[in-house]
Amino acid sequence: MKNYNRAVLGTGVIANETAAALQKNGRNLFAVGNRTHGKAVAFAEKYNIGRVYDSYDETFTDPDVDIIYITTPHNTHYGFIRSIL
């Protein structure tokens, strides 16, 4: 099975639950994107994530990212999906 490079958008409660579940199941969390750089760095340190972006667009355009988990508030999802596609 391929080991996909996963990224998470956001660093809140849902992001933490997602990261913990991925780690528990042996999955790779490759990058984190958040508007606040300090929060992204702290999240990356907590979950041993190698790439940190303080721009969502940087996360979307990273060619090494295979899967993006959108864990931000629901009203942001549509805009992010449009940007990704």
pLDDT tens per residue, range 49-75: 999 999 888 999 999 999 999 899 888
What are the residue ranges spanned by the domains of the chain?
6-84
**pLDDT one-digit tens code per residue, 6-53:** 999 999 999 999 999 999 999 989 999 999 999 999 999 999 999 999
Which residues is 8 bridged to in the sheet? 32, 69
CATH annotation of 6-84: 3.40.50.720
- CA 5, 77, 31 angle in degrees (round to 5)? 25
